[in-house]
Structure 1
Amino acid sequence: MLTDYHNHLERGTLSLQYLKQFTDQATAKGIEHFGISEHAYHFYQTKNILSNPWVDARRYYDMEDYKSLFHQAWDNGIDVKMSIEMDYTPGKHEEMAEFIRGYDFDYVIGSIHWVGDFGIDLGEFKHEWELRDIKETYKGYFDQVVTLAQSNLFDIIGHLDLVKIFNYVPTDEQFLLEQYERATTALANSKTCVEISTAGLRKPVGKLYPDPRLLKLCYQKGVPIVLSSDAHVPDDVGRDFDEAIALARSVGYTSLMTFEKGERKEVTLGK
């Protein structure tokens, strides 16, 4: 079987017509388990969790409208999972837990896009990479991977090494492997799955998330995986999944995890 659990409607509308473009593409690609996971920061209900000028300018959805869209889809026989991608925010564990408990999500993705006030994957902040210490940023990023896992709030961690998006990578190999080691140990001691995301192939780094060495450690420590495209337009659903499947198999994976109403089930990895 195949999953594509990380997808966004933000470039279109919260409408059944637009949602169906995504689900139709998933069906055409043979993806049996498909979900939408809109960014939590778009919703008014998350203002007490993550708030800064960049985020607040993009907060324009209400969770009631989001829920209603999924109920419309289910009433029309469309099989789509309801999820959210939440920016993991240190110091806001209680607020994140309260938000997650408030909705009947099939699964919840936790992702790291901010290291302090630095939006690591945002074009508007790209110049900051030249001004900051790369190792310091990486350590801050992987500090959050560890505490995200330890929080046990999330079913999946999104794009595990997103920090490499603009191809700024520490040249100190030992340092990098130390970050991978502590991150995967924390993930192995949590309920959190790792996604193999094809989105990195469409970014400046031009590589899958996560790095093969990082994924190999996940496999060795028994961390389950899902496949995701992080599609922001329908045509990107399931894109480059042949490469994601090849990477999964190359480190030893033969199964995926699926989710429904918070319950997980292991299935055989498709071709």
Structure 2
Amino acid sequence: MRCDYHMHFEKGAYDENWAEGFFDAAKKRGLGEIGISEHSHTFPEFEPLYYENLILDDSFVGSFQKKWLKTNKFKYTIDEYFAFMRRLQKKHAVKIGIEVCNFQDQKAVAQILRRYPFDYIIGSVHFLHGWAYDSAEIKSEWANHPLEELYGWYAEEVEKLAASGLYDVLGHPFNIRLFKNIPDFDVRPYLERVAKAMRAADMVVDVNTGTRYRYPIKEISPYADFMRVAAKYDLPIITTSDAHQPEDCGRYNAEAVDYAKSFGYEGTIRFDGRKRAFEPFDP
């Protein structure tokens, strides 16, 4: 079976007719099961954490991020999300997930998450020292930091996520290559740090095609060097599309499965109520 557990409704609304497009695309691409993992910035419950964590001064980065927080954010409560998903579950096999940013106050995150019966929780590094590094609008900020420093920051953020014990999956590992910032130094210490933290926390690798079709790097995350390390540490995987609109559900999923197989992986993880089961890939 092939699955896709990483996608978002944020480009649309909680409208069943619009959401149906995700299931149509999943069927066309031969997926056996999908899951929705709404961004934490969909929900007002997380709003204070964004204002605590992001650079929001009058700098180039801060000015953009202040506008970003006012655009299509915090529009549904988590209760509204569950109510909508329960309606979808009456017609479809779909899991209820969430993708949470790397907030510094993990105790506050835990207080929010523990109130809801998610099937799985993705933790993703979206900010480095308060900067949304994956935003094309402020990508010039990359030039202001040595790349090795950013690898160190990234590994540190993963270690914090893993140490919290809150997350089932690390979203799009090492997507810091997304704007073709390719290191010319030895990255192995950073890859090993991340893999060790994930192993200790029993976290799953998100083999994510979003960077394949949404960013200049045009490669699946995590890239091959980390996939080899992940396999060495026996980290399980899921294959996902990071779809933000219906037609992208399952996009390049078959390619992601072949990619995972090339590193010795034979199947994916399926989630149900935070419990996991191994599901072999189709022959």
Per the TM alignment, residue 59 of structure 1 is displaced from its structure 2 partner at its CA by 2.4
SS of match in other structure, 1:264: strand
SS of match in other structure, 2:238: strand
Q: What amino acid is aligned across from residue 60 of structure 1 in structure 2?
A: K
Which residue of structure 2 aligns with residue 167 of structure 1?
180
Per the TM alignment, residue 198 of structure 1 is displaced from its structure 2 partner at its CA by 0.7
SS of match in other structure, 1:139: helix
Which residue of structure 1 aligns with residue 270 of structure 2?
258
Q: How does 1:101-112 map to 2 (within 5 A)?
A: 101-112=114-125
The answer to whether structure 1 residue 113 and structure 2 residue 113 are counterparts is: no
Contact 1:193-1:225 at 8 Å conserved across structures: yes
Per the TM alignment, residue 268 of structure 1 is displaced from its structure 2 partner at its CA by 0.3
Which residue of structure 1 aligns with residue 94 of structure 2?
80
Q: What amino acid is aligned across from residue 43 of structure 2 in structure 1?
A: F
Q: Which runs of 4+ in 1 moved over 6 A?
A: none
The answer to whether structure 1 residue 196 and structure 2 residue 211 are counterparts is: no
SS of match in other structure, 1:10: coil
Map Cα deviations across residues 104-133 of structure 1 (whole Å, 9 max, x no partner): 111011101100121110012201011222
What's the % identity of the aligned pairs? 28
Map Cα deviations across residues 85-117 of structure 1 (whole Å, 9 max, x no partner): 100212x11111111111111101110110012
Gaps of 5+ in 1: none
TM (norm. structure 2) is 0.90
Which residue of structure 2 aligns with residue 158 of structure 1?
171
Which residue of structure 1 aligns with residue 254 of structure 2?
242
Contact 1:108-1:154 at 8 Å conserved across structures: yes
Map Cα deviations across residues 40-94 of structure 1 (whole Å, 9 max, x no partner): 112111123322425531222222221111111123x21111111100212x111
The answer to whether structure 1 residue 16 and structure 2 residue 8 are counterparts is: no
SS of match in other structure, 1:195: strand
Cα distance 1:54–1:221, how it changes in 2: closer, same or farther (>3 A)? farther
CA distance in 2, matches of 1:242, 1:147: 32
Which residue of structure 1 aligns with residue 229 of structure 2?
217
CA distance in 2, matches of 1:27, 1:98: 36
CA distance in 2, matches of 1:66, 1:55: 21
Q: What amino acid is aligned across from residue 115 of structure 2 in structure 1?
A: G
Q: What amino acid is aligned across from residue 267 of structure 2 in structure 1?
A: S
Which residue of structure 2 aligns with residue 45 of structure 1?
45
CA distance in 2, matches of 1:185, 1:149: 10
Gaps of 5+ in 2: 55-65
Q: What amino acid is aligned across from residue 192 of structure 1 in structure 2?
A: M
CA distance in 2, matches of 1:55, 1:190: 32
CA distance in 1, matches of 2:258, 2:24: 24
